A and B are shown apart, each in its own frame.
Chain A
Amino acid sequence: MIDVIDLRKSFGGLEVLKGITTTIREGEKVVVVGPSGSGKSTFLRCLNCLEDPTSGSIIFEGVDIADMKVDINIHRRHMGMVFQQFNLFNNKTVLGNIMLAPLHIRLTELRKKKIKNVFIKIYNLFAGNKKPLYETNTTRQQIKQEVRENALRLLKRIGIEDKADAYPSTLSGGQKQRIAIIRALAMNPKVILFDEPTSALDPEMVGEVLDLIRQLADEGMTMVIVTHEMGFAREVATRVLFMDDGQILEENTPDRFFSDPQNPRAREFLSKVL
């Protein structure tokens, strides 16, 4: 699903990713661990080009999205991302947060189709073989209604539909992060990238967020998770990547990685955190 080929990233003179090659297959839950500053976040942010790779390729569904010429916005719709700091839109209600992107994208598509239809109609006036028009039967109102219903369904799933009209500043960290997760889900992503989703949470809220991620994992969602929660990593991962100094030093099944790490640096890291 995602092929990462010799990915490199430098900030100024500092090379943070030093040639990363790996493949993320459909349905996998890849957990990335490693010491602070090893480049885990940068790696994750390169996967959806929030950071533009300095060199190398990110092949997502057959397209190299690291190529600056592709329209990255279209491909990002299929990759959800969940941030350490939640990053809910502060000027939108909970429902507004979830609806914003799907609604905007579908309404824009509808508008584009209508504009194209005008041109096709003009073309059809003169041409012998008529071109078919795009279907524009769903109205803006219907689209709004559908997106809204989907958002409410997702909110119900995490059991806080009563917060639909609340603003993010009034929510607990756990609520914010779960909403951030379903905001990503509302786009029907093929893969979700998590960057330390529980690191900014009070301890008593970590559980509810991990539970939701676990559910998604069980439903077969493809995931890449950067985390310091080793217990969770071991439980949910299908594969563990150990990063240090901008490189993947070990790639292993969770059982083998946690019980018998091969790389000396991985061994040292685990002895510190476990």
Chain B
Amino acid sequence: MGNFDKKIARFWEVFLNQNGYTKVLTGLQNTLTIAVAGLVIGIVIGTVIAAIEVMPKYKRLPRILDGLCAFYVGLFRGTPIVVQLLVTYYVVLPLLGVNMPPVNVCILVFGLNSGAYVSEIMRGGILSVDPGQMEAGRAVGLSYTVTMMKIVVPQAVKNILPTLGNELIVLVKETSVVSFVGAADLYVAFSYIGSNNYEFMVPYLVMALIYIVLVMVIAMFVRIMERSLRKSDRRN
């Protein structure tokens, strides 16, 4: 194990004295930014899609919108996120003539991608709300959209908060591919440390540990949230 001690010593050397830790912190920050901002965008997109999907379909407009949503969801669920990143960064944005920093591209793509997944979660949430709530809103003269946004969606969100927490965990894990388009995440940071002293065992081990801790912390928050939500059901 003397060998392993030496490896750890070399890791610390790069981590502390050759700027390793700033890279790790930047990587951590980018990972969390992409995951959290992506989820926020995803929730907005997902809510809109879900609201369209559960709309009554006897008019033409909802049917057209529904088709568009189905296409969108199919597109983003049917392709790997790496492919979506690469195509956006190297094909779509150049064609549009848009220049964006890699992290922003990642936020955009993760947002669009999780929008497709959140829409399914949100639709389940909306369908789990008693239809009587929508009827009561309509019966007092509120429109479908207003009732949806003021009555149904808030209750749906409450029902699916834990699931959204899990979606955040999924996003955190999936950010490990953002270096494909040049965003500096944990993988980039630890690869830097590894290649600086030709030793990858310890850096990647530490990287794995950081991901595990990250996921455990989020999972803990989700559990706390779940418990306090259950309490508020019984509140005065």
Which residues of A pack against B, CB within 8 Å? 48, 50, 73-74, 76-77, 79-81, 83, 85, 87-92, 100-101, 104-105, 166-167, 169-170, 180, 183-184, 187
Contacting residue for A89 out of B141, B143, B151, CB 8 A:
B151
Number of interface residues of B (CB under 8 A): 22
From B130, B133, B141, B150, A105 is in contact (CB under 8 Å) with B141
Distance (Å) between the CB of A97 and the closest chain B CB?
9
A85-B132, A87-B132, A169-B233 given as contacts; is B139 within 8 A of A50 (CB)? yes
Known: A85-B132, A90-B133, A91-B158. A76 touches B151 (CB 8 A): no
B235: shortest Cβ distance to chain A, in Å? Answer: 7
Most B C-beta atoms less than 10 A away, residue of A85, A87, A167, A183: A87
| Cβ-defined contact, A73 with B143, below 8 A | yes
Chain A residues within an 8 Å CB radius of B135: 50, 83, 87
CB pair A100 B150 closer than 8 Å: yes
Contact A77:B141 (CB < 8 A) given known A90-B133, A90-B155 = yes
Q: Which of B193-227 contact A (CB under 8 A)?
A: none
Q: Is B236 an interface residue, CB under 8 A from the partner?
A: yes
**Selected contact of A187 from candidates B132, B141, B146, B151, CB within 8 Å:** B141
- CB pair B142 A83 closer than 8 Å: no
Contact at A76–B234, with CB atoms within 8 Å? Answer: no
Give the chain B neighbours of A89 by CB distance below 8 A: 133, 136-137, 151
Contact code string B126-155 (vs A, CB < 8 Å = 1, else 0): 000010110111111111001000110011
Shortest CB-to-CB span from B147 to chain A, Å, is 9
Chain B residues with CB under 8 Å of A183's CB are 140
Contact A169 B234 (CB under 8 A): yes
Measured CA separation A79–B154 after assembly (Å)? 26
Judging by beta carbons under 8 Å apart, are A101 and B155 in contact? Answer: no
On whether the beta carbons of B158 and A73 are closer than 8 Å, the reply is no
Residues from chain A with a CB closer than 8 A to the CB of B150 are: 100, 104
For A166, the chain B residues whose CB sits under 8 A away are 236
Closest to B156 in A: A91
Question: How many Å lie between the Cα of A194 and that of B138 in the bound state?
Answer: 15
A202 to B25, CA, bound (A): 61
Residues of B within 8 A of A87 (CB): 130, 132-133, 135-136
Q: How far is the CA of A92 from the CA of B140 in the complex (A)?
A: 15
Which residues of B lie under 8 Å from residue A167 when comparing CB positions? Answer: 235-236
B198 CB to closest chain A CB (Å) equals 58
Q: Which single residue of chain A is at the shortest CB-CB distance from B153? A: A91
Q: Output the least CB separation between A213 and chain B (Å).
A: 17
Chain B residues in 8 Å Cβ range of A74: 141
Which B residues lie within 8 Å of A187 (CB)? Answer: 140-141
Report B147-171 residues with CB < 8 Å from chain A CB.
Answer: 150-151, 154-155, 158
